[in-house]
Amino acid sequence: MNKPRIVFAGTPEFALASLTALVDAGRVPVAVYTQPDRPAGRGRRTSASPVKIYAIQQGMPVFQPQSLRDDRAAADLASLRPDLLIVAAYGLILPQNVLDIPTATCINVHASILPRWRGAAPIQAAILAGDRTTGISLMRMTAGLDCGPVFSIRSVDIGDDESAGELHDRLAVLGGELLVADLGRIISGDLQPVEQDDTAATYAGKIRKQDAEIDWTHSAEALHRHIRAYNPVPGAFFFTDQSVRVKVWHATVVSSVNARPGSFIQYDKDGIVVACGTGGLRLDTLQLPGKRRADAREFVSQISLS
């Protein structure tokens, strides 16, 4: 198979990195699938996905079905006669009849070291759990949730203060690099996938906004990971005694704190320190509703907690 017909399916920035890597390597998809345009931002204006915007710029046909479970969507994909279907953060379930359409295989670019953190939010889950490493897995897709055999893995260390957004950007680039590096051997059959150990599987469910609320009874170390994991989406937050919702974008662990969880040990122009279940957190960057992010000095001038 000298020049396989590739169909790419993906939606957000993470997927865009894999698509651009394919194009830069001369493996231009014959078509691109991405989720339908949706409202986004404060104005809730309907916006195209990053993948769609790029695909149109490159002159690639774009398909945006609401679902791949109906016969028409499957027929449209089959009409493209794909040899390979490459998926990265597409966001729609691919049923078995769709996975059976490509003549060669379906490949998924997944942001974890499988079988750890199957599911929708592997980057956040790795940070929350305190994992020291994560990575990218190239997996042959099956009908189950991220349980197909794995072609290859590339690992990276997670920084002690790294946010999910920062880790996402590194993994997105790594995903594109690994895909391009190993795609030729996958196509030729020289790289065969290895079955996952299902007994070692862990799962990362979809993130809800309420998951990001800070519970001060947890340890400072756990909450430091919590703040990093939910930066930038949806943003870790707490409510003041006046029911003001405050987002926290960056914090530092202070080990020498022993007070009632949630109490402010310090709240002045020199810093904000909150007691946790064990230790405390110095809140370095915060944000009030409708305001821009602010350091502690600026924040205490915006709101009084006394």
Residue 79 in tokens? 């009409």
Farthest CA pair distance, the chain: 71
Phi, psi angles (nearest 5°) of residue 279: 75, -160
| Residue 306 scores a pLDDT above 60 | no
Q: What digits encode the pLDDT tens for the residues 119-143?
A: 999 999 999 999 999 999 999 999 9
Query: Whole-model pTM?
Result: 0.95
- CATH 3.10.25.10 is held by the domain 209-302: yes
Q: What digits encode the pLDDT tens for the residues 160-199?
A: 999 999 999 999 999 999 999 999 999 999 999 999 999 9
Q: What burial letters (b/e) apply to 261-300, b meaning 16+ CB within 10 Å?
A: beebbbbeeebbbbbbebbbbbbbbbbbeeeeebebeebb
Whether the domain at 6-204 and the domain at 209-302 fall into the same CATH topology: no
Specify the DSSP element, H or E, that contains 15: helix 13-24
Spans of all domains in the chain: 6-204, 209-302
List the beta bridge partners of residue 242.
none
Residue 206 pLDDT level (bands cut at 50, 70, 90): very high
Question: What does the mean pLDDT of the chain come to?
Answer: 95
What is the dihedral angle through the alpha carbons of 221, 223, 226, 230, rounded to the nearest 10 degrees?
-130
- CATH 3.40.50.620 is held by the domain 6-204: no
Separation CA 89–CA 209 (nearest Å): 20
